Amino acid sequence: MSDIRRVLVVGGGVGGLTAAATFARRGVEVVLIERRPAFDIPGVGLGQPANALRIYDSLGVLDEILGTGFSYDRMYLFDPNRRLIVEHKFLMGDRRVPAFCALSRLELHEILLGAVERAGVQVRLGMTVAQIHDEKDRVEVQFSNGQRDSFDLLVGFDGIRSTTRLHLVGTAFAPRLSGYGAWRVQAPRPESVRGMEFLQGIGSKTGAMPLSNDIMYLFHIRPEAPGADFAGQDQARLFKERLAPYGSYVAEIAASLNAGSDIVYSPIEPLMLPWPWFRGRVVIGGDAAHTFAPHLTQGAAMAAEDAFVLVREVLEADVPLEARLMRYSMKRYPRCAFVYTFSGQWLHDEQSVRSAEDLEVARAELTLNASARIGASDRILDEAI
Ligand SMILES: Cc1cc2nc3c(=O)[nH]c(=O)nc-3n(C[C@H](O)[C@H](O)[C@H](O)COP(=O)(O)OP(=O)(O)OC[C@H]3O[C@@H](n4cnc5c(N)ncnc54)[C@H](O)[C@@H]3O)c2cc1C
């Protein structure tokens, strides 16, 4: 019988929901707290690669996800006018899981929340942790409403601004503003958009991800002033200006933007926390431990993998808890560091295209190497974890 019988999960994003459902399905009593008063997830869409889909399969929700989202097995690199440079067939997936399935964030969260509720997790909304006292044999918690409780393990999947990370390492390791930002908006899907697309521009990149038969989301990545958030500003006008150099459906979407458009802007703030990702009986995963440039669409996928591996290692009660949490950290670090490095390099390379001459050089290089490069990454990410 495991020595971990009662777990507190902090944060109800993809990582927290996956951890809570996976622990509870293994017979652990789980309390999940979420700071927001409702699961009204902001954001647009998420591409979920085969490695994430396998974890959702273990929670019994794969069919629901595939029935809701848009599955695809290719990505395309284009020039700013959507002239094809490279078509890449992903080397991921198998007979059961496609290479990718993308869906709206809200729909993915609702599906995972269903798994959490069916597994018997106690979900408490509008609540945070006020104090953590790590005793040797348990962790004592005081919640923001003044209530106290005691757990065998506290699992922090509380995102990029994690207070659980602050508890572990203070401000020694924090996300760093990269000077780049991502703009996103949902739009009708043209029939021709059948996979992930990147349009390499000069000084920026634009792309699309299909989310269903009817909709896709458009994204745009470019240098932005560190600290800019554009909230309350004329986002539609600013986004339109930024999309002006692009043709094809991008130009049509740009023309349709107005004050009512649901535009989301996020700075890109990479973080790779050195392991170990725990102290005593408090452990973190997901964006609390690592955030990446979005190019491999692996952020939520790595959060789900962290959750899955954490539960497996923690409930394998063969060695003391500290050794199991160390094993979790050591297993997760190299894989997440790979995504961090590969995505960061991709961001850097694409944003280094600053002139028409650079674009021609990039076109030639991408034609020659991009598919092999992405294929090598696919093979790594498709490996068993
Ligand atoms: C532009 C962009 C595009 C992306 N596209 C993709 C993609 O296509 N595919 C993909 O896999 N990933 C993608 N990502 C990354 C992905 O969004 C994140 O990696 C993922 O959401 C992380 O999940 P998480 O559960 O660790 O954290 P989060 O999703 O941030 O969840 C953390 C939760 O904890 C809650 N919380 C925070 N603090 C507390 C507290 N103190 N107490 C209680 N609750 C708290 C928050 O309210 C939140 O609900 C993208 C990211 C960006 C910026």
Residue 229 DSSP label? -
Q: What is the DSSP string of 236-281?
A: HHHHHHHHTT--HHHHHHHHH--TTS--EEEE---EEPPSP-EETT
- What does the pLDDT read at residue 365? 98
What is the reported pTM? 0.97
Neighbours of 312 (CB within 10 A): 16
Report the pLDDT value the prediction gives residue 238, as an integer from 0 to 100: 96
Q: What is the mean pLDDT of residues 301-324?
A: 97
Q: Are strands 196-200 and 74-78 parallel, antiparallel or unpaired?
A: parallel
**pLDDT tens-digit series, residues 314-368:** 999 889 999 999 999 999 999 999 999 999 999 999 999 999 999 999 999 999 9
For 117, counting Cβ atoms within 10 Å of its Cβ (0-12 exposed, 13-18 middle, 19+ buried), the class is middle
Q: Give the residues surrounding ligand 1 with Cβ less than 6 Å away.
A: 10-16, 33-36, 46-47, 128-129, 157-159, 163, 182, 266, 286-287, 294, 297-301, 303
Nearest-atom index, ligand 1, CA of 288: 26
Which residues, 6+ apart, have CB-to-CB distance to 137 below 8 Å? none
The predicted pLDDT at position 37 comes to 94
- Nearest atom in ligand 1 to the alpha carbon of residue 219 is 1
pLDDT for position 385: 96
Count the alpha carbons within 13 Å of 208 in the hemisphere toward its beta carbon.
27
Mean pLDDT, the chain, integer: 96
Q: Residues 228-273: pLDDT tens digits?
A: 888 777 999 999 999 999 999 999 999 999 999 999 999 999 999 9
Q: How confident is the model at residue 313 (pLDDT cuts 50, 70, 90)?
A: very high
What percentage of the chain has pLDDT greater than the value 70? 99
Q: What is the pLDDT of residue 232?
A: 73
Give the pLDDT score at 229.
83
- Name residue, tokens 């005793």: 135
Q: Do residues 91 and 122 make contact, with C-beta atoms less than 8 angstroms apart?
A: no
Which contiguous run of DSSP H or E holds residue 87? strand 84-89
- Tokens at residue 273, please? 């926390």
Contact 157, 11 (CB under 8 A): yes
Question: Which structure tokens are listed for 229?
Answer: 């958030």
Give me the pLDDT at residue 279, please.
97
Q: 38-52, 180-194, 246-260 — which is least confidently predicted? A: 38-52
Q: Taking 80 as the threshold, does the pLDDT of residue 91 lie above it? A: yes
DSSP state for residue 193 in the 8-state scheme: -
